Structure 1
Amino acid sequence: MAEAAARVRAMLLITTLLWGVNLTAIKWLTGLFDPVLLSGVRMLAALLPMLVLLRLRRCWQTPSRAQWRQLAACGVLMVYLNQWWLAEGLARSSATHGALITALNPLLSAMLALWLLREALSGRRLCGVGLGLAGVALVILNRPGAELAQGGLGDGLVVLAVLVFTLGAVLIQRLTADLNAVVIGVGVHAVGAACLLVHTVVQGAWNGWPAMPAPGSGWWAIAVLSGALSTGLGNLMWNRAIGLVGMARAAVWLYWVPLFGVASAVVLLGEPLTVWHALGLGLVFIGTHLGTHVARVPRATGPV
């Protein structure tokens, strides 16, 4: 029993480490790739471990037309828009800011679920929402005036990426009762990757082909590993852990994502860490604790 619990904890820790460090990797890669192209490559790579698991388990189910429509909607929200806006935002902002903003994910998920279920928001939860948003606003508005316009736009895009992901996470709940989680993951990421690649082709035909490293460059391998390990393998481990310990216990580990994200940004990219980052992160953590207390966070695939 103790060994099983230790394996679950290790699984959750590795998953949050992959997601946190991946924010820094995306920020780094946006200096070499067009953000939309990068997102498309990463999401195609994310399909690889899912397809391998699907093959090994032989658990494919053929979705109905209604289920395909729901999968398509979730793919557009949770993969296409989420990854596009996340990459565009990180290209304009910093990995540190991105890690802090994505810490709002469980709080916004819980609030959106409560709203859709038409449950009344208690004073405790409203206070949590206020503190979480105040923490993010504190860091965004503390930028120097010369950086506020471009950096603020990037931070805003990351916020939008988190919002569309949480909306898709709530919508996907209707599919979990009838479809296997791996089938859902394959469908959602296939739709999202296709949208991103079509976007890249249309953008290239209209404005010229986007920036990218030379074919055969090692940067392509890093982009593929980012998608396959963080999004693909990370999501599989996350969903496995949820099945073993439940969403309520697993969601607590999401606190590690921004910590790993901020730490990797400081160590690998040399981004500055100020007292405002620490204060903002603290407010987000406190707000998330208050806002998600006794609330059920929607089950979904991982955030990055």
Structure 2
Amino acid sequence: MSADERRKVLTALVAVQVMFAVHYPVTKVLLRTLEPSAWVALRLMLGALVFVSVFLATKPVRLAGRDLAELAALSVFGVILNQIGFIEGMARTVPSHSAVINTMIPVLTLTFAVLLRRETFRLRTAVGVAIALTGVLVLLEVDRVRARSEFWQGDLLTLGNAASFSLFLVLSRGVTRRLGPVAATAGVLAFGSLGAAAYGTRALSAVDWASLPPSTFWLIAYAVLFPTVIAYFLNFWALARVESSSVALFVYLQPVIAASISAVWLHEAITARTVVASLLVFAGVVYATRRR
């Protein structure tokens, strides 16, 4: 991979994490007015509509039966279980628990990739993951998080979300390299929207759209366009060029980016803990992804 293409991949992966970092508070606000199942269905159906339209407007690749079967299977892990676990988990636990549990994504991705023999174990990658994980746990003040029995259902759903997304990152790399990111994104979102529709159409049909404030529709537009359509595409695009564990590693940037956004927009204080955590996260990501 050339230095220029490498920079493009790294830029794309950072952009994905910015979109996801903003998506957390957006989702919390949307869940005040929409049922979790209704929001999952709406987000994925609109996302599929947008990207399938893009796919058909380009010169689409011819999809064989095997391709469709693979895309349908990937949609179960990367869209249906992932999004249901994320939304339903967020509705039943607190953000601090969700954030800590989602730090397992790079660890699980590396584990699945090695166990399924999609990647060889590399000490540099494992050390980079460990350094970045330490930074995230420092930032999230994991030493102050206390287990509470009323959140166990949400925590388990969030863990299921993390595991399904990790497995998706590992399994989707082959089909992405074969079909390209446009076809892969369109197929996964299309099949995923079918499962989401079955799951949430009933709740979606009960929404009183006229009573929703205009800000809700702007938040919906953001969540569909950026962390759904664009982020899924950029993840697929990156997966065609780098290993799954490298893509997952950038998840650790989310809390750092979220803290930076809060400092700039909400004028929250930047503490010594934030600085130390940020340095550890960046050190881990750079160490694991730099050229060997």
Tell me whether the two structures share a fold, i.e. TM-score over 0.5.
yes
The alpha carbon displacement at 1:228 in A equals 1.7
Amino acid at match of 1:44: M
Stretch moving more, 44-53 or 16-25: 44-53
Closer/same/farther in 2, CA of residues 119 and 144 from structure 1, 3 Å limit: closer
Structural RMSD (CA): 4.5
- CA apart distance, 1:115: 0.5
Q: Deviations over 1:184-231 (max 9, x none)?
A: 2111111111111211246x5xxx976665466431442232022111
Show the counterpart of 1:297. none
1:2-41 equivalent positions in 2, closer than 5 A:
10-41=11-42
Residue type of the alignment partner of 1:84: I
Distance 2:52 2:217 in 1: 20
> Is 1:226 matched up with 2:223?
yes
Match of 2:110 in 1: 110
Once residues 284 and 212 of structure 1 are traced to their aligned partners in structure 2, the CA distance between those partners, rounded to angstroms, is: 43
* Separation in structure 2 between the aligned mates of residue 168 and residue 193 of structure 1, nearest angstrom: 16
Q: Which residue of the partner structure matches residue 236 of structure 1? A: 233
Deviations 1:142-176 (A, max 9, x none): 4457xx12334323322210101112222223423
Are residues 25 and 4 of structure 1, via their aligned partners in 2, closer, same or farther at CA, if it must alter by over 3 Å? same
Unpaired runs of at least 5, structure 1: 295-304
How far is 1:285 from its partner?
8.1
Distance 2:190 2:42 in 1: 12
2:164 corresponds to 1:164: yes
Deviation string 1:250-287 (CA, Å, 9 cap, x unpaired) is 66644322322455578889999999999999998888
When residues 25 and 237 of structure 1 are mapped into structure 2, their CA distance, relative to the original with a 3 A threshold, is same
Q: Does 1:153 align with 2:153?
A: yes
Give 1:159's aligned amino acid.
L
For 1:34, give the aligned amino acid.
Answer: E
Q: Which deviates the most, 209-218 or 227-236?
A: 209-218
TM-score (norm 2): 0.73
Compared CA separation, residues 87 and 249, structure 1 to 2 (3 A):
closer
Q: What is the distance in 1 between the residues matched to 2:142 and 2:156?
A: 9
Segments of 5+ residues of structure 2 without an aligned counterpart are none
Distance 1:227 1:160 in 2: 22
CA, structure 1 residues 61+279, in 2 after alignment: closer, same or farther (shift >3 Å)?
same
Deviations 1:107-132, CA, capped at 9 Å, x for gaps: 22111010111888688888888885
The 1:10–1:115 alpha-carbon spacing in structure 2 relative to 1, beyond 3 Å, is: closer
Report which stretch shifted further, 182-191 or 266-275: 266-275
Partner Cα distance (1:269, 1:39) in 2: 28
CA distance in 2, matches of 1:168, 1:229: 20
- In 1, distance between residues paired with 2:6 and 2:174? 29
Counterpart residue type for residue 165 of structure 1: F
**In the aligned structure 1, how far is the partner of 2:6 from the partner of 2:127?**
34
263-272 or 43-52: which moved more? 263-272
Contact 1:95/1:262 (CA < 8 Å) preserved in 2?
A: no
Distance 1:96 1:143, change over 3 A: closer
- Hey, what does 1:302 align to over in structure 2? none
Residue 61 of structure 1 aligns with which residue?
A: 62
The 1:111/1:162 distance shift into structure 2, 3 A limit, reads same
Partner Cα separation in structure 2 for residue 150 and residue 281 of structure 1: 31
Change (3 A) 1:277 1:91: farther
Query: 1:86-235 maps to which residues of 2 (within 5 A)?
Result: 86-117=86-117, 132=133, 142-143=144-145, 148-201=148-201, 204=203, 214=210, 217-218=213-214, 219-235=216-232
Question: Which amino acid letter does the alignment assign opposite residue 223 of structure 2?
Answer: S
Per the normalisation by structure 1, the TM-score is: 0.70
Aligned to 1:82: 82
Q: Against the structure 1 CA distance between its residues 26 and 246, is the aligned structure 2 distance closer, same or farther, given a 3 Å change threshold?
A: same
Whole-angstrom distance in 1 between the partners of 2:182 and 2:150:
38
Q: List per-residue Cα deviations over 1:42-77 (Å, max 9, x = no partner).
A: 11222244234323422242231x332222121111
- Aligned-residue sequence identity (percent) comes to 22
